[in-house]
Amino acid sequence: MDVIDTTVSARYHLARLHIDAGRPETALLLSEEALAAALSRHVELSEAAARGARGRALAALGRANEARREWGRAAGIYGGLGSAAAEDMRQLLMSAPAFTGAVTRAWRMRC
């Protein structure tokens, strides 16, 4: 069974706090650290969570295309694992063109 690695989880939650506090640059760095840790440990669920967080940070920075790419990858991983979080990522993908300052509100609603 695939479980979230605590190192990744801690960085993911810190990234979330930084998004909520309006510090997407810091959130992006934390989510990239989380992604690197997940990839090095080969833990798919952690990778998907880190990619979702990275996408939110990128969206908050106005980098919608990169955000969509991360959410698409996360949706694929979650879908392969049979997780309901795949639908959350798909909904973020659909909302990406209109994604602006509402990232904090969307983050709270989807996490």
- The CATH number that applies at residue 35 is 1.25.40
Model-level pTM?
0.80
pLDDT attached to residue 93: 85
What is the CB neighbour count within 10 angstroms for residue 89? Answer: 25
Residue 22 lies in a domain: yes
CA dihedral 99, 103, 11, 67 (to 10 degrees): 0
Residues of the chain under the 50 pLDDT cut:
1-2, 99-102, 104-105, 107-111
Q: Can you give the pLDDT at residue 26? A: 97
Burial 9-36 (b: 16+ CB within 10 A, else e): bebbebbbebbeeebbebbbbbbbbbbe
Structural domain contains residue 18 = yes
Residue 93 lies in a domain: yes
Q: What's the pLDDT score for residue 12?
A: 84
Number of domains in the chain: 1
How much is the pLDDT for 95?
Answer: 80
Whether residue 100 is contained in a domain is answered as yes
Does residue 35 contact residue 50 with C-beta atoms inside 8 Å? yes
Domain membership of residue 15 as a residue range: 6-110
